[in-house]
Amino acid sequence: MKDRTAKDQPDSSKPSRRRFLKSGAVLAGVLGACADSGNVSDSGPRTLGDIPSPYGQRSTYEKSVRYTHLSDTPEAGPSRTPLQDSYGILTPSSLHFERHHSGVPTIDPSQHHLLIHGMVDRPLVFTMEEILRLPSVSRIHFIECSGNSGREWTTPEPTVQRTHGMLGCSEWTGVSLSLLLSEVGVQSEAKWIIAEGADGCKLHRSIPMEKAMDNIVIAYAQNGEAIRPEQGYPLRLVVPGWEGNTHVKWLRRIKAVDQPYMGREETSKYTDLMPDGKARQFTFVMEAKSVITFPSGRDKLPGPGFYEITGLAWSGRGLIKSVEISIDGGQSWQEAQFQEPRHPVALTRFRLPWRWEGQEVTLRSRCIDETGYVQPSREALIEARGLNTRYHYNGITAWRVSSDGSVQNAYA
Amino acid sequence: MKDRTAKDQPDSSKPSRRRFLKSGAVLAGVLGACADSGNVSDSGPRTLGDIPSPYGQRSTYEKSVRYTHLSDTPEAGPSRTPLQDSYGILTPSSLHFERHHSGVPTIDPSQHHLLIHGMVDRPLVFTMEEILRLPSVSRIHFIECSGNSGREWTTPEPTVQRTHGMLGCSEWTGVSLSLLLSEVGVQSEAKWIIAEGADGCKLHRSIPMEKAMDNIVIAYAQNGEAIRPEQGYPLRLVVPGWEGNTHVKWLRRIKAVDQPYMGREETSKYTDLMPDGKARQFTFVMEAKSVITFPSGRDKLPGPGFYEITGLAWSGRGLIKSVEISIDGGQSWQEAQFQEPRHPVALTRFRLPWRWEGQEVTLRSRCIDETGYVQPSREALIEARGLNTRYHYNGITAWRVSSDGSVQNAYA
């Protein structure tokens, strides 16, 4: 129904519908302004509609899509979730962001195997049927690429889909990695695991054994059905709270080893180059972060009146404890309301009623997680980390609403 | 990956894959039985896969579908959720059951209106844009047709999709009905509302004002995107815990009135004819109920060994407090584990590890909700209500596992 995605597509000049009134009234005015019962009558057509279907599709009136800026090597790139069109805390699997390093492989689950080997007493290979028979767990978790918001360091982007869209939240179901590791008998010298995918580049990441024994899920289902191909069908890691790249997709192998492999994705990529020229490596945890999804960049408020400010907050370290919103450029902050219940390491929806008087304002959100960590300002983040990195940006985002109602990234 | 749906389709003789091992070992045996690392090698192809897509689809290897037994009037019938293929607590929107009374209308949201009128001070009409601008709420709730399990009263069906498939659970987002009712100014004489859909039959239900003022949501989103056409696009009621028929789809009108309208769906249908010939009417609340989804009817266990019994429990009155499982025909019961956190008036996933020794057993689940209500046995339910009704069956389901591993509805 909302269709603000078009504004993000290259070369698109299609006007987008907005989710606000043509009139600019406050809440009571909004409701009083539209009393015209002539629009609904009892004399409508009584024709029969469509019959039940085996597998449903969305309405043809719905146009929201993932944002992709295709490069010369589109197999090694992302698509971004349309957060401006998001509701609640769940991301529809069809709109969940992607990040591939050599494209999406087509895998027949009857031919797929998972090998667990290395420094273990009993190396094992599992078929999908075997994995599906084992004790299962389900958890609602976010996944965020550590490159999400990467351009916010230096060249901020115009829309929330482009600034924060490498983010999604799903109910994941699978088997506890720790269960499988205890069954193969990990040897005491093994301090890391290497997780490897079945995609063209055999993407692999080194993960400390302590995390592997903690809460990692070998997932085969997302939001109640099999994981989608672009999310790793038939098997992926879900590594709660850690950067998306560690959630290895199309998982085919786990090897217990005594040291990290120093692969491409943990040396030349997914490291944070600091101002002194040294690089932070294995910066796994995604720290607390929030963003307002409405109003956000390229929205246009039709006039003064009532609006609901809403957005998302998340932390790789657990629960979001509070979200505060500033409508005066960061001078004062007020508490937003949450969609309850909150889940640890999951997207958390916040909302705040707001009456816009028509003046220029800048909207900011900042969150605090259960460890007491406060999402930093952009300035403080850059002060601490410099401008050499493209990863792990979690600074406060500021949306400037001009007096004509147009909304822009205040840092762009 | 699991594909047990085919067994439910009329005239299908396609064999279905199972989610268990060919070997019949206990857990340790399962894992030890498949050590063959030759199945995974480093020499696989390194071809590029598919590029990112605007709106994803499931794998072509996934075949699970809703069950529909098309009648001469398919526009007035259900399709059923493949619960045997369910994971976690969420139902994918594409697989969520349907129940239509005159088919699925095609509605352009820019032309859709919601009228609120009757015994109110200020009748109002809302466009979708106006509704989307109002303060929003999101909640995870189940919806169950009160005709779900309706054949269990007299002629029990063979599979869990057919016995319990008019059931789904989603994250719903929309506007609180109570907010809109307070804005229109409901007059003191108004004791009910009539909610009416825009489908061919203009389906309508009478709902007491007390519930309307409590927790009903006028929903426009399901699982993070716009409601699907067959779920009421662009607007439906979500009436937490009440029979599915009250969750009026394609909602176009709410009228405040002083008495129920005694429409078709609350007189000739959706009433419970008791043994004495009198009918219970307005039996809105869906009482606590549970069912084992694996193993369930028409599964076939390949042999003795480890299995995880799993299923779903729910109550229209709030949280599920406990689920117990009997593997000895109801003589003794043991506590199942829950997927946490649990949500009130939502599907709740339970799990129990089980070692099958190869003997004939009958598996039952029973749940207790936070009010202390205990799901009744089939016998107790029939004793209380007789056999004249097709609605509100919530008795215990029993799956009989024969010594050859085949599973049947023990009451069929």
Average pLDDT for B12-22: 31
Task: Tell me the pLDDT band of A69, cut-offs 50, 70 and 90.
Answer: confident
Mutate: best of A51, A126, A204, partner B, most B CBs <10 A: A51
| Average pLDDT of chain B, as a whole number | 91
* Residue B45: per-residue pLDDT: 62
Average pLDDT for A269-298: 96
CA dist B135 → A110, B3, B179 (Å):
47, 42, 9
ipTM surpasses 0.90: yes
Average pLDDT for A301-319: 97
Mutate: best of A16, A18, A36, A48, partner B, most B CBs <10 A: A48
Average pLDDT for B308-336: 97
| Average pLDDT of chain A, as a whole number | 91
pLDDT per residue as tens digits for the range A331-388: 999 999 999 999 999 999 999 999 999 999 999 999 999 999 999 999 999 999 999 9
For the domain covering B99-280, report its CATH number.
3.90.420.10
- pLDDT of B19 above 70: no
Average pLDDT for B345-368: 98
Cα–Cα nearest to B140, from A309, A242, A340: A340
Domain residue extents for chain A? 99-277, 289-409
DSSP notation for A24-81: ---HHHHHHTT--GGGS-S-------BPP-SS----TT-----B----S-TTS-EEB-
CATH classification (class only), A99-277: alpha beta
Task: Tell me the pLDDT band of A72, cut-offs 50, 70 and 90.
Answer: confident
Whether A30 and chain B come into contact, CB under 8 Å, resolves to yes
* Residue A24: per-residue pLDDT: 31
Average pLDDT for A12-36: 38
A22 Ramachandran zone, left/alpha/beta (phi>0; psi -120 to 50) = alpha
Asked: is A289-409 a CATH 3.10.310.40 domain? The reply is: no
The top-scoring range by mean pLDDT among A3-17, B11-25, B250-264 is: B250-264
Which H or E run includes A162? Answer: helix A160-164
Nearest to B253 among A40, A180, A341 (CB): A40
Whether B370 and chain A come into contact, CB under 8 Å, resolves to no
Whether B264 and chain A come into contact, CB under 8 Å, resolves to no
Task: Tell me the pLDDT band of A142, cut-offs 50, 70 and 90.
Answer: very high
C-beta atoms of A183 and B35 within 8 A: no
CA dist A153 → A146, A396, B297 (Å):
13, 11, 56
pLDDT per residue as tens digits for the range B111-141: 999 999 999 999 999 999 999 999 999 999 9
The more confident residue out of A220 and B72 is A220
Whether B183 and chain A come into contact, CB under 8 Å, resolves to yes
Locate the DSSP E strands across A128-216. 137-144, 167-176, 192-197, 204-208
Distance from CA of A187 to the nearest CA of B (A): 17
Whether B125 and chain A come into contact, CB under 8 Å, resolves to yes
* Residue B46: per-residue pLDDT: 80
* Residue B69: per-residue pLDDT: 85
Task: Tell me the pLDDT band of A16, cut-offs 50, 70 and 90.
Answer: very low
Backbone angles phi, psi at B196, to 5 degrees: -130, 135
C-beta atoms of A27 and B173 within 8 A: no
- pLDDT of A176 above 50: yes
Whether B178 and chain A come into contact, CB under 8 Å, resolves to no
pLDDT per residue as tens digits for the range B61-85: 999 999 998 788 999 999 999 999 9
Could you tell me the two tokens for B139? 């909640």
